[in-house]
Amino acid sequence: MVFRIGINLGDVIQEGDRIYGDGVNIAARLESLADPGGICVSKTAFDHIETKLPLGYEYLGEQTVKNIAKPVGAYKVLMEPRVTVAGEKAKAPPVWRRKAILAGGVAFVVVVIAALIWNFYFRPPPIEPASPEKMAYPLPDKPSIAVLPFVNMSEDPKQEYFSDGLTEEIITAVSKTPKMLVIARNSTFSYKGKAVKVNQVAEELGVRYVLEGSVRKAGDRVRITAQLIDALTGHHLWGERYDKDLKDIFALQDEITKKIITAMQVELTEGEQANVYAKGTDNLEAYLKCLQARELAIHFNKEDNVVARRLAEEAIALDPQYSHAVYLLGLTHMMDVWLKTTKSPKQSIGRAIELAQKAIALDYSDAGAHGLLGFLFTMARQHDKGIAEAEKAISLDPNSGKAHQFLGLALRFGGRPNDAIPVMEKAIRLDPFAPSNYIFNLGLAYLFAGQHEKAVQHCKKATNREPNNLGAHLALAVACSVSGRDDEARAVAAEILRIEPKFSVEYFSRTLAYKNQADKEIFITALRKAGLK
């Protein structure tokens, strides 16, 4: 049996009845033991304590230790006041001394094991456990995790983009394996700045594991703390603090991701590892600009979209092969259409398609670029291409709520509402606090599948979540009108005109990307029936 434990004063690795240790304070630990005999220390520890304690040391040669790639040179701690140099073989101590040493070592091992058993099985949990009965969603049959936004501990609040970006990078990395369920950024970031308990997060999102941490960025240094908690037991599975140069941020992200996956006992194939730990750029400045651009792009306003585009362009200038920067630039052109800040929506969509395709050419594993391209193809009425690209996005990032949403839209506009329903439901499971467009688009899928009551139910939920969302009210007006709730449809139409006094059915009809003209006619007829012109 192999244990890896901490004794506060350094890491200790125990294999069988031997303990190997490294740490500058291990001398103090040995000195505190009544009989350190039987304990083995590594070459690193030996070099440090050789002159600090009046003990003897027997060289045991190279020892193979689990979880360490190369053999470890080890010394056995003796009670005799002498020191054996590296490679030297000391005279064996008397039999009575060896027996005493063995007894002391066995006693120490028993104490360690007892402490471990108490720590993991009998000690009261440090955190109140979550209740499976209170879960908003049933726990899946695979490990599930929510990564809470890392707290920005920097003195400069403008560094918020860095802590948020690091959080999203970790979410993106762990979500690339189908062997886990990972909650989307949108939902976990709803807890940002709030004092919430781990069990509350687990119950509301329907997950077993919760990761939380903090980031302090100062100049060229970064300090990151992270801890993974099993919400069902209330115990910490893993925790670490890193204090590194900022240039090591890419390696740190990989290490944290690996620690999370290992602690959750998820085994990845070589192909899955390559996908999870894929690199985007080695240019730190380009990476930081993309973090800022991504944070601004999701604000969904004209001013921030302009700055996001400039930052993406600057990142591309620093690293022309950085696919994520190219993807972000394409996203800003699509946002021009949504924000109505383009003179030619057709040209903006065309430019966005061009950039998404370029991002994929630079990195075919870029799930975000595939998802964006799928949505753009759908908007351009190239429905089969839209479905294919969205499906590719999900294969690369099976935990992406956004990719599932894009595929659901492509299927619905492509005349396949029954296929769209389970995909959109999965999008909401991955993003329980999703924006209202996830909900009302699912409602419209139910509508075109002939399930009118469910359609009205979901569209009402969307308007309740975002009372000023134009799309949610348009969907509800259509659902009410088609299901014969004429009075309700007219009341919703009044809300539409409150939100957008100049709303035009004719203009809006040009944005509908339905493959089947009959589906488009159902939508337009329902709006006119509700009283809109």
Q: Is pLDDT of 497 > 50?
A: yes
Question: Per residue in 289-323, pLDDT tens?
Answer: 999 999 898 888 899 999 999 999 999 999 999 99
Q: Is residue 156 pLDDT above 90, yes or no?
A: no
What are the structure tokens assigned to 104, written together?
A: 């002391």
Q: Is the domain defined by 435-533 classed in CATH 1.25.40.10?
A: yes
Question: Among 78-92, 441-455, 501-515, which range has the highest average pLDDT?
Answer: 441-455
Q: Please name the residue that has the structure tokens 């190997």.
A: 20
User: For residue 464, what are the CA distances in angstroms to 190, 435, 446, 532?
Assistant: 17, 11, 18, 21
Position 338 scores a pLDDT of 85
Residue 273 is predicted with a pLDDT of: 72
Degrees, nearest 5: CA angle 448-450-453: 105
CA distance 374 to 371: 5
- Give the pLDDT confidence score for residue 48 in this predicted structure: 53
- Give pLDDT tens digits for 222-269: 999 999 999 999 988 888 999 999 988 888 888 888 888 888 888 777
How wide is the angle at C-alpha 269 spanned by C-alphas 266 and 270, nearest 5°? 130
Do residues 28 and 7 touch, judged by C-beta distance below 8 A? no
Instruction: Give the pLDDT confidence score for residue 13 in this predicted structure.
Output: 47
Task: Identify the pLDDT of residue 111.
Answer: 61
Residue showing tokens 């369920």: 181
| pTM of the shown model | 0.74
Mean pLDDT of the chain: 83
For residues 332 and 298, what is the distance between their CA atoms, to the nearest angstrom?
10
Per-residue tokens: 376:
């753009």
Tell me which H or E stretch contains 372. Answer: helix 367-379
As given in the structure block, the two tokens for residue 156 are 């400069």
How much is the pLDDT for 15? 45
* Top-confidence residue, 499 or 75: 499
Spatial strand order in the sheet of 18-22: 2-6, 11-15, 18-22
In angstroms, the CA 99 to CA 105 distance is 10
The better pLDDT of the pair 122, 423 is held by 423
508 closest CA partner among 488, 491, 533:
533
CATH number belonging to domain 132-276: 3.40.50.10610
CA proximity to 38, closest of 96, 108, 105 = 105
Residue 45 identity (one-letter amino acid) = A
pLDDT digits (tens, 9 = 90+) for 375-434: 999 999 999 999 999 999 999 999 999 999 999 999 999 999 999 999 999 999 999 998
Rounded Cα distance between 235 and 198, Å, is: 11
Which of 2-11, 169-178, 324-333, 338-347 has the least mean pLDDT?
A: 2-11
61 strand-pairing partners: 74
Q: Say yes or no to pLDDT of 272 above 60.
A: yes
- Considering the chain, what percentage of its residues have pLDDT values greater than 90? 60
Start and end residues for every CATH 1.25.40.10 domain found in the chain: 435-533
What is the model's pLDDT at position 315?
Answer: 96
What sections of 417-500 are H helices per DSSP?
417-430, 436-448, 452-465, 470-482, 486-499
pLDDT over 70 percentage in the chain: 75
CA pair distance 160, 189, nearest whole angstrom: 13
Report whether 226 contacts 165 (CB < 8 A).
no
Q: Residue 308: what pLDDT?
A: 95
Looking at the chain, the domain(s) classified CATH 3.40.50.10610 span 132-276
Find the mean pLDDT for residues 512-526: 95
**Res 60 pLDDT > 50:** yes
Cα pseudo-dihedral 275, 277, 283, 287, rounded to 10: 80
What is the secondary structure of 255-274 as a DSSP string?
HHHHHHHHHTTPPPPHHHHH
**Buried b / exposed e along 269-297 (16+ C-beta atoms within 10 A):** eeebeebbeeebbebbebbbbbbbbbbbb
**294 vs 53, residue with greater confidence:** 294
